[in-house]
Amino acid sequence: MRNFVSRMAGELPPSGIRKFFDLLLTMDNVISLGVGEPDFDTPWNISQVAISSIEKGMTMYTSNRGLAELRELLSADLDQRYHTKYCPETEMIVTTGVSEGLDIAVRAVVDPGDEVLVVDPCFVSYQAEVLMAGGRPKTLPCSAQDGFKVTPDVLMESITPKSKVLLLNFPTNPTGGVMGKDDLQAIADIIIDHDLLVISDEVYAELTYDGHHVSTAAIDGLWERTITLNGFSKAYAMTGWRLGYLCAPKEMTDAALKIHQYVMMSAPTASQFAGIEALKNGEEAKNEMIAEYRIRRNLFVKGLNDVGLPCHLPKGAFYAFPSVEGTGLSDEEFAERLLREQHVAVVPGSAFGKNGRGHVRTCYAVDRAKLSEAVRRIGIFVESLHS
C-alpha cells in the first residue's frame, strides 16, 4: 500500500512541547509550569450565560462572521482600549480561537514561496502555520539583551526580496517580551518601505503589567497593512471555549472569511454568547486575575534569580524565560532532569526556535503556594548541579 500521508504533513515537525507533556503524564506529584493557560475557572457569570443560551435552544450556526452583537461589542472595546477602529460588519470575523484566526490569516495572504518573518523565539504554531500555507518562515532573532523585542537593525537584516509578511506576537509567548509604542514606531517605516503586511497576534494584550498595550494597527501607517488577532482565552480564563477574532481591512477580511466559511462555518454559538457576557460584565473578574498574575510574576522571577537562574522581568503574558546556561546543561537536559529529579515541568526554550536555546519557558499561571514550592525544588536541583 502506498503512503497516503501528504508530504507537507509528513515533513511537519512535531510540537516540541508535547514530548514533555507526555512524560509528565507518567509521573506523580508534578508541579507543571509547562502549560500556557490560566489556572482560574472561567468567571461563573460568563459560563452561566452560555449554559442559558443552550437551555433556550440557541444552538444553531451563527452568521459566518459571528453574532452581530458580539462584533459590535468587540469593535467598541477595541476602539476604547487600543484606539483601533474596525467596522463590525465588514472588518471583523469571530473565529474558533486565535489558532483558527492565525490559520485563516496566513492562508489568506501567503502564496507558495512567500517569505514570512517570524520572531525567534516564538510560539510553536507560527512556523508550522507558514509551512502549511506553503510559505517559507524566516526567523528574526531576538535576545534577552533587547528585551526579546524586534529591533530595527535585526528587521532590516532579515528582509529579503521575497519577504511579504511580518508575524508579531506581543506580549510574547514564550518570553513575556513587550513592544511599546516607541518600539513599534521604530520599525514602522521599515515595514512600510518594504511593503510588508503585519499579522499581529495580540492574545496576551490584556496581560501587560507595566504600562498599557499598544496595538500594532494603532501606529500611523500600519492599520491598512495589519491583520490583528485576539481572543478571550488568556484574559478571561476561557481557553477551552475556543473564541477569538480577526480584524483587518475589508479586502483581507473578505479573503479570510472565504477560508473560514469552508473550514469552520462559524465559531461555537454558546462560546459567542459567553464572549458577549465577558465584554459586558467580565471586567472586574478579569482585572482581579491580571492583578494576581502581576504578584506571581514578581515573586516567581525574584525566586528564579535568587536560586541562580538569571531571568529578565517579563512585562507581559504569564511566562518567565530564565537562562539555564550557567548550569552547564542544555535546555533540553535541564528540563528533562528537572522533571525526573524534582518533578517540576518546564519547556525547553529550543522548542520555540534556535534563539530559545539555553532558556526554559515557565508559566506562572499557577497558585502562589505551588509557585513557591516549584522555586524551592528548582533551587535544590540547581544546587545539586554545582555540588
Q: Tens of pLDDT along 94-149?
A: 999 999 999 999 999 999 999 999 999 999 999 999 999 999 999 999 998 888 99
- Residue 145 is predicted with a pLDDT of 87
Answer whether 127's CB lies under 8 Å from 7's CB: no
Query: What's the grid cell of residue 310?
Result: 538569571
Reported as a single tens digit per residue, the pLDDT across 330-344 is 999 999 999 999 999
Contacts of 78 (CB under 8 A, 6+ apart): 84, 85, 86, 215, 230, 247
- Residue 74 is predicted with a pLDDT of 98
- Residue 384 is predicted with a pLDDT of 95
Average pLDDT, the chain: 95
Res. 350 pLDDT band, cuts 50 70 90: very high
User: Of 315, 334, 320, 316, whose CA–CA distance to 363 is shortest?
Assistant: 320
User: Of 128, 132, 148, whose CA–CA distance to 140 is shortest?
Assistant: 148
Residue 173 region by backbone torsions, left for phi larger than 0, else alpha for psi between -120 and 50, else beta: beta
pLDDT at 270 over 90: yes
Question: Between the CA atoms of 350, 293, 151 and 143, what dihedral angle is there, to the nearest 10 degrees?
Answer: -30
- Residue 35 is predicted with a pLDDT of 85
Answer whether 360's CB lies under 8 Å from 374's CB: no
Answer whether 243's CB lies under 8 Å from 94's CB: yes
Contacts of 287 (CB under 8 A, 6+ apart): none
CB atoms within 10 A of CB 168: 23
- Name the DSSP letter for residue 316: B
**For 8, phi and psi rounded to 5 degrees?**
-60, -50
- Residue 349 is predicted with a pLDDT of 96
